[in-house]
Structure 1
Amino acid sequence: MATAQKHASAPAAEEKPAVLGGVVPYLSVSDASAAADFYVRAFGAREVFRYPPDEQGRTMHIHLYVNGGSLMLSDPFPEHGCGLKEPQGYSLIMRVDDVDAAFERAVDAGATVMMPVQKMFWGDRYGQLRDPFGVIWAMSTPDETA
């Protein structure tokens, strides 16, 4: 199904959803539409806004709610100084109620395990994944047996 048919056009300014969270990650990934669809499957994200793709099939802006906060993403636009770079030096961390179930959901959706869920020295159960777009995600749950 084509992205333009699947997603409505940009809403008027007064209809735009609220931005959630104090710091909002904004990712530039190789295929923002596919990444948004993956985040819905893997992390239970909810899409709240998407501009239609341009003539070259690139999406300028997608807004998701993930785990109680906003995540924004777009395709690269090198002609505007926003080229694609390999993700490095950061990870996105989610505190979840059930790290084992959340981790399994992400792996089933296509994420690659970097560090299996395990009890960590600081007392959480914690694991790391890499999504198909190169972004590292970590998940944790306080260990009730600690």
Structure 2
Amino acid sequence: MATEVTDVPAAGETNGVAVEKTVTFTAVKPQLFVESPKVSDAVAFYKSAFGFEEVNRVTHPKRKADQELPLLLSAEIKLGSSSILVSDLSDDSTASGKPVGSGVIICLETEDIEAAINQAVKAGAVADGEISEGEGACCGRVGKVKDPYGVVWAICTPAKKCANVEA
């Protein structure tokens, strides 16, 4: 739900008691950093492998003379109601926080894991192990693929479906 902010200035007080302000977040947009200049290829891969739709692209207005392609600050790709930002990882990137290592697994839910893995592999991903029963709240059956940019994608059935099958 929402996060509480309790450090409210005096104007936010009622009868000398601090009024708690509620902060509501409207979306989560993970940001993937891909080695420059492969980010456009990564966006094309995510569209082909997982069916993402590109909804926005922001490029750096200036580029160095030796760069063939403009610096891609971010491409917003969407799957259902979820969005991910894909950005260039380069020395002159203006991104607010660059990761040291991936350390990320993104989970995609589907009813047909086998077909989803086959589609991703056909687009250039590498299957990572066998499909197995998931452990944890996020999924039922799960298979994994590693994309050409080092990101691991868990492809799983929704947890509630798994619970119905076991019952």
TM-score relative to the length of structure 1: 0.73
Partner residue in 2 for 1:36: 43
TM-aligned CA distance change 1:67 to 1:108, over 3 Å: farther
Q: Secondary structure at the match of 1:127?
A: strand
Asked if 1 retains the 8 angstrom alpha-carbon contact of 2:73 and 2:94, the reply is no
Asked if 2 retains the 8 angstrom alpha-carbon contact of 1:86 and 1:134, the reply is no
Partner residue in 1 for 2:124: 110
- How many angstroms apart in 2 are the aligned matches of 1:115 and 1:23? 29
- How many angstroms apart in 2 are the aligned matches of 1:32 and 1:117? 29
TM-aligned CA distance change 1:50 to 1:81, over 3 Å: closer
For these two proteins, the number of residue pairs brought into alignment is: 125
Matched residue type, 1:77: S
Q: CA deviation at 1:121?
A: 5.3
Asked if 2 retains the 8 angstrom alpha-carbon contact of 1:29 and 1:84, the reply is no
Partner residue in 1 for 2:145: 129
Query: Larger deviation: 117-126 or 39-48?
Result: 117-126
Are 1:76 and 2:89 matched, yes or no? Answer: yes
Partner residue in 1 for 2:10: none
Partner residue in 1 for 2:52: 45
The percentage of aligned residue pairs carrying the same residue is 29
Name which one, 1 or 2, has greater alpha-carbon Rg. 2
Q: Secondary structure at the match of 2:77?
A: strand
What stretches of structure 2 of length at least 5 have no aligned partner? 1-25
Q: Secondary structure at the match of 2:72?
A: coil
Q: CA deviation at 1:81?
A: 6.4
- How many angstroms apart in 1 are the aligned matches of 2:79 and 2:101? 22
Partner residue in 1 for 2:104: 90
2:28 to 11, 23, 28: 23
